[in-house]
Structure 1
Amino acid sequence: MSDRRRTLQRLEISRAAIRLFRENGVAATGGEQIAEAVGLSARTFWRWFRTKESCVEPVLSLATDAFTASLTRWPAGVGLTEHLAADYAEHPDAGPDDGDLVLAVIRMSRDEPALRAIWLVVQERAEPVLAGILAGRFGRDPGDVAVRVQAAALNGALRVATEDIAAATADGRRPPAAQLRERLSAAVDAATHGVDGERAAGQGPTRST
C-alpha cells in the first residue's frame, strides 16, 4: 500500500470511529466495530492504531495542518489576523463533514480523558512546525526562546478558538465559515503581540537576551 493510500485509509477509519463514538459513546464502541465499519479485519485495525481513541488523530490533524499551511502563505506586510481571516481554509484532504467531526471530538473530550489526550498530543506536535515557519519568516533559529514562545502562543490560540467553536456549536447549528474564521482571528490577535501588527511587516520577534 502506498503512503498516500495509507493516509486516506487512516482518514476513513478516523471518520468512521468518530461517527461511532458520537452515536454510541466511546465506551460502547470497540475497535472491532470500527474495523467492520470500514471493511477491515480487526488485526489490520490494531496494527494501524494502538487504541480505539487514537483513531481520532488523523481527522484532528487536518485542522492543525490547515492552520500551519495558512501560516506558510502569510505574505510580508500583512497582519497575521488579517491574513487568516482571508486565507484560512480546510485541508485539501478534508471531507464535507470533517469540520463537524473535529468539533464532535473536542466536545466529547470534555468527558473522555483519552480523547482529550489525543487532542493535546496533536496540538503539541504542531508547535515545532509553527516555530520553524516563524523562524524562517524572520530569519531566526527555531530554538530561539522568543520564537518558541510565540509558536506556543499561536498553537494555544488555535486550540482555544477550536474549543470555543465546539462549545458554540453544541446545539448542532454551524455558524457561517466567515464567522468561524473571525473567531480564529480573534484568538490569534490575542496571542500574537510579538508576531502581528507592526512586526508582521518584517521586524519579526524581539530577540531574546
Structure 2
Amino acid sequence: MSTKPPSLTLTERRKAATQLDIARAAAELFTEHGPDGTTAEDIAQRAGVALRTFYRYFRSKQDAVAPLLAGGADRWRERLAAAAPGTEAGLPEALERSIAESLAAEDETAAEGLRWTRGLLRAAAEDPALRAVWYRVNQESEEKLREVLAGLAGPGADPLEVRLAAAAATDAIRIALESWAESDAPVRGGGSPAELAVRCLRELMGGMRLLGDTPAE
C-alpha cells in the first residue's frame, strides 16, 4: 500500500497557491484587526483577487485560513509517509521523530508559519467560527494520518491501535500548539511546540501496542 500522495497537476498547484495567498492575507488582517474587524472583501483586496474568486474557494472569512493551519500537518504527514515501514518499535519512534522535526522551526519560513499559527489560535479564543475551522483541520488531518499509519504499520496491525495512534499524534500536536499559543515561549528550545508535542505524544501513547500485537488468550 503506497502512502505517498499523488503529484498535483499544474492547475491544482495554481489553485493551491491562490488559496495560500488568500489564507495569508486573511491571517494578516485577523492579526491586525481581528476576525470581527475583517471582511471577506478586505481579504480579497489584500490578496489581490476578486471577491467571487474568494468565494469560489472559501465559504467564509474564517474558512480562508484553513490552508495556512493545515499546511504544517500536510508536510508532517509527507515526512512520515516517507519513512520505511519498520518493526513494532520503529513506528512509534518514527512518529515522535517526524513530529519533532516538523515542529523544529529549522528555518525562518518554518518559524514564521508557527508564529502565524500562534496569532490565529489567539484570535480563535474569541471567535467560535475560527475555532471550528481549527477543529475541522485537525479532524481532517487525523483521518489522513490513519491512512499513512496503516500503510506503514502493515497488514498485521490492529485497526483500533492504528486509529488510536492517529488520534494521539494529532491531539499531541493540537494540544502542544494551543498551549504554546497561550504562552510567550519561543519557537525553539524550552516550551517550544516541538518540545511540548513530543511530551504530549509520550503521555498519550503510553502503553499503546500500535502494530497489532495480539493479546495473549
User: How do residues 16-35 of structure 1 correspond to structure 2 at under 5 angstroms?
Assistant: 16-35=25-44
Distance in structure 2 (CA, Å) of the matches to 1:18 and 1:82: 29
TM-score normalised according to structure 2 size: 0.78
Q: Distance in 2 between matches of 1:141 and 1:113?
A: 41
Q: Deviations over 1:29-88 (max 9, x none)?
A: 110011111111112212221111101100001122133223224454552465246632
- CA deviation vs aligned residue, 1:2-27 (integer Å, no higher than 9, x gap): 11011011111101101101111111
**Partner residue in 1 for 2:123:** 108
The equivalent of 1:204 in structure 2 is: 211
Counterparts of residues 22-171 of structure 1 (less than 5 Å): 22-74=31-83, 76=86, 78=90, 79-80=93-94, 83-84=97-98, 87-88=101-102, 97-140=112-155, 144-169=159-184
Aligned length: 199
SS of aligned partner of 1:176:
coil
What residue in structure 2 maps to residue 11 of structure 1?
Answer: 20
Q: Secondary structure at the match of 2:125?
A: coil
Q: 1:70 to 1:189 in 2, by over 3 A?
A: farther
Identity among equivalent pairs (%): 29
Render the CA deviation track for 1:141-161: whole Å, top value 9, x for unaligned.
888222212211111111101
RMSD of aligned Cα (Å):
3.0
Task: Give the drift of 1:117.
Answer: 0.3
CA contact (8 A) 2:158 2:212 kept: no
Deviations 1:134-186 (A, max 9, x none): 212222488822221221111111110111111123xxx63326843222211
Three-state SS of the structure 1 residue aligned to 2:182 is helix
Cα contact 1:132–1:142 (8 A) shared by 2: no
- 8 Å contact from structure 2 (residues 111, 187) kept in 1: no
For the Cα contact (< 8 Å) 2:157–2:213, is it kept in 1?
no
Matched, 1:190 2:199: no
